[in-house]
């Protein structure tokens, strides 16, 4: 039995709980693709087991924003996952804002150092700006999961440079998350 990683591709493709948009990209689409790449990478490594929140591109979770988040958390808690990774893209009214950041429930526990490893791996491989690991106990997927959880904001859809990375390097984002997990668990590449 491997370490159980629940990969949540944030937001829905239609209806409610839609993500941000920018430079011709929809957050929910990028999140889905990066999550599926990550799931594929993890599935090939016998040290991990993986499940995703969205099983196919049109998969809509819940019937409103609150239930969409609740379905994701309930699935992870029921499995039960060992770690919860929620993949997102960021947006800002200023197109100059760019970079990668991680959100965790608290400074203490496993989520913070895990978030740091994931952040360093993305910044190192992709070349995005390091916007730090940040604490936000208000985020539903961080406060309601029963396992260490990190919400990953890969880059900004509203920044032209970041948007191009999100468009062209989705596999690299996924692979860097995998590298961050390996670093966190002190695993070598297979």
Q: Which helix (H) or strand (E) holds 135?
A: strand 130-135
| CA R_g for the chain | 15
Q: What would the pLDDT profile of 71-115 be if each residue is shown by its tens digit?
A: 999 999 999 999 999 999 999 999 999 999 999 999 999 999 999
pLDDT score of 189 = 85
Q: CA angle 17-144-187, nearest 5°?
A: 100
Mean pLDDT (the chain) is 97
Could you give the percent of the chain with pLDDT greater than 90?
A: 97
Longest CA–CA span in the chain (Å) reads 45
Whole-angstrom distance, CA of residue 72 vs CA of residue 156: 23
Q: Measure Cα distances from 13 to 16, 57, 72, 169 in Å.
A: 8, 7, 15, 20
Q: Where along the chain do its domains lie? A: 3-185
Q: Are 105 and 134 in contact (CB under 8 A)?
A: no
Residue 177 pLDDT greater than 90, yes or no: yes
Mean pLDDT over residues 43-67, rounded?
Answer: 97
**pTM score:** 0.97
Residue 190: the pLDDT is 79
DSSP H or E segment with residue 138:
none
> According to the model, what pLDDT value does residue 164 have?
98
Q: How far is CA 8 from CA 40, 130, 141, 151, 159, in A?
A: 14, 22, 9, 9, 24
pLDDT beyond 90 at 1: no
Task: Please give the pLDDT value at position 65.
Answer: 95
User: In angstroms, what CA-CA distances link 15 with 21, 31, 142?
Assistant: 15, 16, 23
User: 3-185 architecture in CATH?
Assistant: 3-Layer(aba) Sandwich (3.40)
CA separation for the pair 70, 88 (Å, rounded): 17
Q: How many whole angstroms separate alpha carbon 120 and alpha carbon 130?
A: 8
Average pLDDT, integer, range 173-188: 97
Q: CA torsion, points 28, 29, 35, 40, in degrees to nearest 10?
A: 160
- Residues 6 or more apart from 55 whose CB is under 8 A from it? none
């Amino acid at each position: 039995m491997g370490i159980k990683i629940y990969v949540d591709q944030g937001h829905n493709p239609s209806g409610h709980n839609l993500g941000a948009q920018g430079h011709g990209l929809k957050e929910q689409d990028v999140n889905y693709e990066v999550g599926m790449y990550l799931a594929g990478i993890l599935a090939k490594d016998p040290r991990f087991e993986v499940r995703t929140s969205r099983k196919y591109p049109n998969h809509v979770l819940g019937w409103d924003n609150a239930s969409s988040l609740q379905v994701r958390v309930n699935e992870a808690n029921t499995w039960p996952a060992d770690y919860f990774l929620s993949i997102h893209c960021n947006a800002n009214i200023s197109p100059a804002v760019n970079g990668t950041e991680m959100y965790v429930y608290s400074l203490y526990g496993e989520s913070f150092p895990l978030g740091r490893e994931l952040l360093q791996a993305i910044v190192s491989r992709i070349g995005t700006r390091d916007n730090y690991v940040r604490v936000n106990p208000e985020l539903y997927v961080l406060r309601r999961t029963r396992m260490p959880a990190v919400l990953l904001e890969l880059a900004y859809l509203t920044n032209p440079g970041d948007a191009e990375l999100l468009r062209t390097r989705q596999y690299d984002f996924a692979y860097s998350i995998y590298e961050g997990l390996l670093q966190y668990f002190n695993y070598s590449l297979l």
